[in-house]
Amino acid sequence: MKIIIAKNSGFCFGVRRAIDLALSFSKKVGTVYTIGPIIHNPQVVKKLAGEDIKVADHACDIRSSNNVVIRAHGIPKKTMELLKKRKMRILDATCPYVTRSKKYAEELSKEGYRVVILGNPKHPEIKYISSYIPGNKILLKSESDVKKIGFSKKLGIITQTTQSPENFIKIASTLLNYSNEFKVFNTICPDAINRQKEAQRLAKKSDLILIIGGKNSANTVRLAAISKKIQPRTYHIEEAKELEKRWFKNVNTVGIVTGASTPQWIIEDVVNKVKDIT
């Protein structure tokens, strides 16, 4: 059986950077805390706990004497203000692509645009960006939500970094009916786009696709959805132990696509397990 691994696999730049920053910070100062998981991969987060990088649910769960690393998705403005007020030692590991989106959103707001953010309002990235936009903003999860918004004098549009370009263009196009003046930033992460393209390419040439990554990871969930549209035999797993022998019946080619926060060792585990059971 042939196994093809997607070209863009393993950690993306932002995830690698966040983990490296947290590790070197913890080496220097001892135990550090993130508010919410540093990245959306439970296995990596568990491993990092052994390296003195712990997860707190809320800022108030951490003592003022503790050290804090800001997760790759960023944290809401109020939480950051609270940390600063408590004079805690902070290292910001927010992904530069996410920070850039937040800067664009702030710029739009300052220039008088009603800010539209395309993405999942419950995702920490969107919570972070949205928290920096005062007043009348619009959080749009899907095209059907567009109808709910009225006509605005000026609309400024940004999108979650893990959005698919097709969705972004579809929703932004519909929004063109709702104002006469727009400023639009396509803030999809280039790495996310490359992974999506690879998922499409492999889904077309494989009998089965394994998407490896956190079930809570937006970019991984997106990859699974994109792959499933082309190859219905798409399975989203976090670890090798989830693999089932029966999935591989009549399969000649397996495509392996990984989320931006999936570590190399999980990919290797999966490849070995696939070889074992088939």
Catalytic site positions:
125
Specify the residue, 157 or 267, whose C-beta has the smaller distance to its own copies.
Answer: 157
Q: Taking the mean position of all CA atoms in its chain, how far away is CA 61?
A: 24
Binding track, positions 180-219, relative to its own copies; x by CB under 8 A:
xxxxxxxx--------------------------------
> What is the token pair recorded at 167?
């969705």
- Asked whether position 242 contacts its own copies by CB under 8 A, the answer is no
At 106 the three-state DSSP class reads helix
User: In the stretch 100-119, what mask flags binding to its own copies with x, by CB under 8 A?
Assistant: --------------------
C-alpha distances out from residue 238 to 42, 88, 115, 221, 263, Å: 8, 34, 35, 11, 10
CA–CA distance from 89 to each of 39, 55, 80, 85 (Å)? 20, 16, 11, 11
CB of 164 to its own copies, least distance (A): 13
Per CB under 8 A, 147 contacts its own copies: no
Q: Does residue 144 belong to the site contacting its own copies (CB under 8 A)?
A: no
Residues in the chain, overall count: 278
How far is Cα 59 from Cα 62, in angstroms, rounded to an integer? 6
Closest to its own copies by CB, 174 or 278: 174
Q: How far is the CB of 161 from its own copies (least distance, A)?
A: 12
8-state DSSP, 113: P
Number of amino acids touching its own copies (CB under 8 A): 16
Q: List binders of its own copies among 153-182 (CB under 8 A).
A: 165, 168-169, 172-173, 176-177, 179-182
Could you give the 3-state DSSP secondary structure of residue 190?
helix
Contact residues toward its own copies (CB under 8 A) are: 165, 168-169, 172-173, 176-177, 179-187
